[in-house]
Structure 1
Amino acid sequence: MRRWIRIMGVAGLLLISGANAAERLRLVADPWAPFTDVNLPNGGLATDIVSTALARAGYVTSYDQVPWARAILGLGEGRYDVLVNAWYTDERTRIGHFSGEYLLNRVRFLKRRDAPFDSWTPSMLHRYQVGVVRGYAYSPGFDADAQVRKVQVQNFSIAARMLAAGRIDLILEDEYVARNHLALEEPDVRDALEFLAQPLSENSLHILVSLKRPDHARVVERFDAAIAAMKADGSYYELLRRHGF
């Protein structure tokens, strides 16, 4: 009898340990201030919202910050559980389960101040070189337009310097991200650039949960419910205020 009790006790501990492990999530994002950045309070606005919602949903989280391509690869391979900052694309549904929208990003073009245009049309873009961050999605129409001469770069700061130097004609970025980066640039870069008024798109921001997790649908369901509860009790809007939004 005592041996049976000991066996049952060990089995119970293993079950508890397994349950605890299942409730842990490895979050990942690329540096994308002011939304995701380890140098900002609580990792930036998006990281703060996501980690707070997942904690309310009953999960313990850890966070890694890596380049975008590595984050996507790691999520697809199951080395990470949750990509914090994902715009929707059909291609990404092959590796992850999207949550509902928890933020909205406004994507805008930037040009040199001395460029002889103040607006854009889809056909006009075919005449210019546009700097884009490798692996990013901007809008379905723009991403699929093979006639746009897209110059892939590693990050926005490189694109901004290339634009200021006249090596490309336009760049794209979320408005808040661009303003955050430009504030850190040298005046010869920052003061040389300006936004075009018409945005390219407004993209909803989601978490993307790796399909390698058998419970990916449950994670998304609990996250979405937590976001709804945070909006209902006002804590969601308090986070926006704390981060200056």
Structure 2
Amino acid sequence: MLLFCLLLGTALPALADGWRVVGDEQFAPYSFQYGEDRQPRGLDVEVVQAVLREAGIEYQLRLYPWARVKQMLALGDAEMAFQFAGTPERKAQYELVGPLRSGATVFMTTRKIPLADWHRLEDLRPYVVGQVNGYAYEGAFDRFELVRDSSAQNPRQLVAMLLAGRIDIIVGDRLQLMHFVREQRAEQQVRILPRPLVEMPRYVAFAKGDSARAQRFASALQRLQRAGKLDAIYRRWGL
């Protein structure tokens, strides 16, 4: 019992002082695991790390499946999570800080599908639209009645389903979808519809009411953005 108490005592300060930060493990090139030791990498990982350093915050950063990221934040197993879409629903759920960046949410299809572009959501009704389970994209689109396939657990799987002909259209971040298409050397097989669904800002999230941590991160982010100190990260990853 004494040994247990001593071990507990040495563990508590790290948990009390450091932030447990979690993000999506399948959101390349923004966040993904690399190498045999599965180190977090990506544009958003680098931005988050830079802001935490600027704020003088000790932290542990890990990447998990998206459903687990949201669960960890909800259960208090993480102090901060990224990268959340800036939808009204998310703003009602969390303390959102940012945006870290913005990205175009687009529709991608194959050259076999005759749809040249879309103007109203009704234009998508004849098709099976694939999306990642648990992702929020844009309020009107999320609520609109469409034939949807939400069986994909991550964007890489979503792209694979499109290339296999299991679904007609997929929705997602332009830079990310093209990253996975290039992995498959399938650029000639796909088309991105010209009109984007939305230019979607991406945020970090804290539990609702955790305003102290949110403000500390926000202040550091604003300092770096005003000084242009994040621009090199954005350029390096092609944003």
Q: TM-score range by the shorter chain?
A: 0.7 to 0.9
Give the corresponding residue for 2:200.
203
SS in 2 for 1:171: strand
Q: Distance in 1 between matches of 2:41 and 2:143?
A: 32
Deviations 1:1-28 (A, max 9, x none): xxxxxxxxxxxxx9xx86x754411111
Give the corresponding residue for 2:215.
221
SS in 1 for 2:201: strand
Give the corresponding residue for 1:134.
133
Q: Distance in 2 between matches of 1:230 and 1:22?
A: 26
Q: Deviation at 1:217?
A: 0.8
Q: Deviation at 1:81?
A: 1.2
SS in 2 for 1:55: helix
CA contact (8 A) 2:129 2:146 kept: yes
Q: Distance in 2 between matches of 1:22 and 1:93?
A: 26
Give structure 2 stretches of 5+ with no counterpart. 1-8
SS in 2 for 1:168: coil
CA contact (8 A) 1:76 1:96 kept: no
Give the corresponding residue for 1:88.
86
Q: Distance in 2 between matches of 1:194 and 1:111?
A: 5
SS in 2 for 1:114: coil
Which residue, out of 41, 57, 82, partners 1:59? 57
Normalised to the residue count of structure 1, the TM-score between the two structures is 0.83
% of aligned pairs identical? 26
Q: Distance in 2 between matches of 1:93 and 1:209?
A: 10
Normalised to the residue count of structure 2, the TM-score between the two structures is 0.85
Q: Does 1:238 align with 2:223?
A: no
The structure carrying a bigger strand percent of its residues is 2
Q: Does 1:103 align with 2:122?
A: no
Seen in structure 2, the aligned counterparts of structure 1 residues 233 and 190 have a Cα distance that, compared at 3 Å, is same
Q: Distance in 2 between matches of 1:68 and 1:56?
A: 26
CA contact (8 A) 1:23 1:58 kept: no
Give the corresponding residue for 1:113.
111
Give structure 1 stretches of 5+ with no counterpart. 1-13
Q: Deviation at 1:210?
A: 2.4
Which residue, out of 174, 193, 196, partners 2:190? 193
Deviates more, 1:133-142 or 1:111-120: 111-120
Deviates more, 1:114-123 or 1:168-177: 114-123
Q: Deviation at 1:42?
A: 6.2
Give the corresponding residue for 2:31.
36
| Equivalences for residues 139-158 of structure 1 within 5 A | 139-145=138-144, 147-152=145-150, 153-158=152-157
CA contact (8 A) 1:75 1:96 kept: no
Q: Distance in 1 between matches of 2:141 and 2:100?
A: 23
Aligned residues: 223
Q: Distance in 1 between matches of 2:93 and 2:117?
A: 36
Deviates more, 1:110-119 or 1:93-102: 93-102
Q: Deviation at 1:100?
A: 2.7
Q: Distance in 1 between matches of 2:156 and 2:224?
A: 34
CA contact (8 A) 1:80 1:210 kept: no
Q: Distance in 1 between matches of 2:179 and 2:105?
A: 14
